[in-house]
Amino acid sequence: MSLTEIRVTAEYCFGSNPMVLASLAKVNFMHAPNGSGKTTISNALSRQPRDQDARLHWPVAATATSIRVFNEAYRSTVLNEHVNGIFTIGSESGDVNSRITLLDQERVVRRTERNGWIKDIGSDDALLDPSGLLGEIETERLAASHAVFERHKDVPEAVRETVFKGFRRSREKFFKEAQSRYKPELVAEKDLTWDTLEARNSSLTGELYRRSPLHGTSVNFLISKEQIAQLRMDDVTTGAGDLAALIQHLGNGDWVSQGRQHLQNTNNKCPFCQEDLPEGFGARLTAYFAAGYDAALSLATSITTQVEERSRTLREELASLKAAVDADSAIDAERLIDAIDAIQTAAELILSKVNDKRRHPTNRIDVVDIAPLVSHLDELIKDANADITRHNKLIDDSRAELQNLVNDGWALFLTDAGTSSHMKRYNGIHAKKLAKIEELRSNITASLQADEGAREEIEALRNSISNTADVAERINELLKALGFHRFHLAITDAVAGGYRIIRDDGSPAFESLSEGEKSFLCFAYFVESLTGSAVSGGTVEPVIAVIDDPISSLDSDTLFIVAAYIRDIAKQVIDGQTNIEQLIVLTHNTQFHHEAAYATDTGKTGDRRHYRLRKGLDKITSVQDDGRRSKIRGSYELLWQSVVDIADGDEDSPIAQVGVFNIVRRIIEGYFKTVGSTQSHERQQPLSVADERLMSMFITWANSGSHTIIDDFAQSHYIGDAKDFLQLLQLFFEQQGHSAHFDMMVRACGGESLLQTGSVFARDVAA
């Protein structure tokens, strides 16, 4: 990810506001005079965080791509002299081997510690003798599993088969299941017993059928309290008459009363002896019983009839209930049958006594009703129906209830005091020893991580040595590619990662290296590090290259080589043919800037951007964004820029009237004397006298210096005709055969439109 903006805060240089380089392109050039802050910028970029997440939020230059910076600080750390002309390149230290030895020794110590920790942890492998903490845990586990497995055999067989199904044939599986279910806070339900579980088990594992609820009797009593009181009455009043004394004396009133019913059909004869009865005998009997006996008899008869009716209903309902009890094999029949029999017996007794009352209305009868017995039976029926309801619920949801049965069974088993003690003991020992094991394993992990860190450091240190030959080869190839033949690198084993600099004649060159050559070597190493890998065979990563004044102390030839190579890098960056994603070049040297920033492919200027740093009177540096084209010009180019400005502007302006004369003179003097080296200045066509005088003046300038005295004619001819004067300059270049140079410089200074038809420098006008 390329940079789009750089923001550097340095109050001493840029003032209270940060310096911002915005809209960065793939290739960026910055021209900055010495002391204007370019080193501050490069130093700020060299402090990019190593962590990629931190890089993305770095306020100076947010990018995940690595920023590599070449500046004075980089040069001071790259080339390090040792002894006898041997030096190292990069961050390799003379203490590399001692550091590797120390790291190896630390790894040996850690390895010994790990072996001890591994022995302390031990093994629980059944094929080996248990050892260490794992062995102790295994020994305890075997003892606990055996004890717990044996205890499950005490559970009733029927429920045992259901609750522990699938685990009874393997002690290992059984104990594993017990461990998964056991918790110190596990509590069984309060009323849970093996008997209740066995009953539930019977319902769920036998023949699954729904049970019918029991129905009690609708008869809650046989005789009411009022009727009981009436039966106890014995003060029945009888009538008077001549028979009263005899009946009362004999005490056979009930017998006489029963015989009265036979008088109706005996024709006044005695129903017993068949003798004629006295006259009015029937009336005399009626008179005796009419006083109260008949009423008592009627009441006794009514009570008896009601009791008989209730008794008949009760007898039928109790028979039905008894049949239902007999049909349900799962019911507690004994208590119910006893209760039914008790009611039936009591009912028979009541019925017998009311019949006696009917036969003897004047006798006192004591009776106890069946209501308490019926209430007791209802309670028994209620309990039985509750059990039936539970049974039917089990049947309706047998799968869930069976799982509940299993869970309750395990809970009851594990909360048993004997089983729980074994589980608690094992879990306590297991937790304590496992905590120690985890501590040792954590130590081992930390030790291995330390070893890995040491291994990586050792590998990096060794690669910095073993990769010396690769680095030397790549730098030598780079020097050749740049056309640099003054020296080359050769590796040496005398110093870890060491090199010798060898001249073409084979002599060592480190002592004789100029500062410029050292700078160039550092630059070569930097370029190699951008497109190469620090490790032999390693992967080349994307980078952003920042180059700050690589020409310090370089001679003109080397300066040209470096500038040419930067041009080549810039082209590769724009074309996407390198791992360098973005290039930023900072320099104070105008010549180097022109050489490095020169682009032949003007169609891709959008991939380039130019900046200038300007230092004001307040000593604060500001940024000038020049966009796609550089506005840095040399003296010669600035002269031509003035020519274009005058030709395209107001010829009566002070600069046109005063300056054009000296501007043209310096162009002719500089080009034809210094660059063109033109000796012959023959005319290709005749000119007017005035123009001939000016053309002669041009020739004088081309062969003399800027201090030649010019006569007043030239001055007077020039005033007011600035553009005509420039057309004569164009004509002079054409006559000398250098019209192409004239056109090139006009175009280079943005005056291409001046060469078009109808403009100042159009060929038809110039002719």
pLDDT band at 69 (very low <50, low <70, confident <90, very high): very high
Out of 256-260, 404-408, 756-760, which region has the weakest mean confidence (pLDDT)? 256-260
Predicted confidence band at 92 (pLDDT cuts at 50, 70, 90)? very low
In this predicted structure, the answer to whether residue 191 has a pLDDT above a threshold of 90 is: no
Which pLDDT does position 468 carry in this prediction? 63
Alpha-carbon distances, residue 738 vs 507, 662, 730, 732, 734 (angstroms): 48, 20, 9, 9, 6
Tell me the mean pLDDT in the region 666-684: 63
* Concatenated DSSP letters of 511-568: TT--HHHHHHHHHHHHHHHHHS-SSTTPPPPPEEEEEE-TTTT--HHHHHHHHHHHHH
Residue 744 has pLDDT above 90, yes or no: no
Q: Give all strands (DSSP E) within 279-438, no chain letters.
A: none
Q: Is position 365 within any domain?
A: yes
pLDDT bracket for residue 720 (50, 70, 90): very low
Q: What is the band of 35 on the pLDDT scale with cuts at 50, 70, 90?
A: confident
Q: What is the 3-state secondary structure (H, E, C) of 656-697?
A: HHHHHHHHHHHHHHHHHHHHCCCCCCCCCCCCCHHHHHHHHH
500 within a domain of the structure (yes/no) = no
Asked if the model's pLDDT at residue 504 lies above 50, the reply is yes
CA distances from 312 to 217, 342, 355, 566 (A): 12, 16, 15, 126
Instruction: Tell whether 260 and 344 lie within a shared domain.
Output: yes
pLDDT of residue 238: 54
Whether residue 586 contacts residue 42, with contact meaning beta carbons closer than 8 Å, is answered with yes
- Cross-strand pairs, 502: 488, 508
Residue 424 is predicted with a pLDDT of 92
87 in a domain, yes or no?
no
* The last residue of a domain, from among 343, 363, 394: 394
Q: pLDDT: is 39 or 486 the higher one? A: 39
In a domain, 566, yes or no: yes
* Model confidence band, residue 58 (pLDDT cutoffs 50, 70, 90): very high
Task: Output the pLDDT for position 97.
Answer: 56
Q: Per residue in 534-551, pLDDT tens?
A: 444 456 788 999 999 887
Evaluate if residue 266 carries a pLDDT over 90.
no
* Whether residue 386 sits in one domain with residue 307: yes
What is the C-alpha end-to-end distance of the chain, expressed in Å? 55
The pLDDT, as a whole number, for residue 60 is 93
Are 668 and 755 in the same domain? yes
CATH of the domain at 569: 3.40.50
Among 158-172, 203-217, 420-434, 508-522, the least confident range: 508-522
Same domain, 125 and 269: no
Minimum mean pLDDT range among 45-54, 96-105, 214-223, 270-279? 270-279
**Same-domain pairing of 657 and 744:** yes
Q: How far apart are CA 739 and CA 746, in angstroms?
A: 11
Task: Please check whether residues 450 and 552 belong to one and the same domain.
Answer: no
What pLDDT does residue 554 have? 64
With helix as H, strand as E and coil as C, how does 278-307 read?
Answer: CCCHHHHHHHHHCCCHHHHHHHHHHHHHHH
Asked if 365 and 419 sit in the same domain, the reply is no
- Give the mean model confidence (pLDDT) for residues 676-693: 58
Residue 115's pLDDT band (boundaries 50, 70, 90)?
very high
- Percent of the chain scoring above 90 in pLDDT: 19
Dihedral sign for Cα atoms in the order 756, 759, 760, 766: positive
Strand, helix or coil for residue 334: helix
Report for 68-82, 239-253, 439-453: range of highest mean pLDDT? 439-453
715 has a pLDDT exceeding 50: no
Q: 713 pLDDT exceeds 50? A: no
Q: How far apart are CA 259 and CA 270, in angstroms?
A: 10
Q: Let me know if residue 536 belongs to a domain.
A: yes
- Enclosing domain of residue 701: 635-766
Q: Is the pLDDT of residue 239 over 80?
A: no
Letter for the amino acid at 145?
A: S
**Co-location of 99 and 125 in the same domain:** yes
Of 581, 597, 627, the residue at which a domain comes to its end is 627
Across 66-75, 90-99, 399-408, least confident range? 90-99
- In a domain? residue 303: yes
Same domain, yes or no, for 122 and 104?
yes
- How many percent of the chain have pLDDT more than 70? 75
d(CA 568, CA 573): 9
> Do 665 and 607 share a domain, yes or no?
no
Give the 3-state secondary structure of residue 490: strand
Tally the domains of the chain. Answer: 4
Amino acid in position 350: I
Question: For residue 287, what pLDDT is reported?
Answer: 53
Distances (CA, A) of 436 to 17, 133, 424: 59, 8, 19
Is residue 451 pLDDT above 60, yes or no?
yes
Asked which of 595, 627, 659 is the last residue of a domain, the reply is 627
- AA identity, residue 669: E
User: Is 492 strand, coil or helix?
Assistant: strand
Q: Output the pLDDT for position 432.
A: 94
| pLDDT over 90 (residue 483) | no
Residue 716 pLDDT? 44
In a domain, 201, yes or no: no
**Residue 402 pLDDT class (50, 70, 90 cuts):** confident
Least confident of 564-573, 584-593, 720-729: 720-729
Residue 284 reports pLDDT greater than 60: no
> Is the predicted pLDDT of residue 254 greater than 80, yes or no?
no
Average pLDDT over every residue of 569-582: 90
106: tokens are 């630390």
Which of 266-275, 306-315, 560-569 shows the lowest per-residue confidence on average (mean pLDDT)? 266-275
Torsion-angle region of 131 (φ positive above 0: left; ψ -120 to 50: alpha; else: beta) = beta
Query: How much is the pLDDT for 174?
Result: 92
Average pLDDT over residues 375-388: 90
Residue 714 has pLDDT above 50, yes or no: no
* Residue 556 and residue 442 in one domain: no
Return the closest-CA partner of residue 45 out of 11, 81, 9.
9
Question: What is the per-residue pLDDT for 494?
Answer: 60
Best-predicted range by mean pLDDT among 480-489, 517-526, 757-766?
517-526
Residue whose entry in the numeric block shows the structure tokens 């961050």: 91
pLDDT at 292 over 60: no
pLDDT digits (tens, 9 = 90+) for 426-440: 999 999 999 999 999
Per-residue confidence (pLDDT) for residue 498, from 0 to 100: 66
Q: Are residues 714 and 654 in the same domain?
A: yes
Which carries the bigger pLDDT value, residue 87 or residue 588?
A: 588
In a domain, 478, yes or no: no
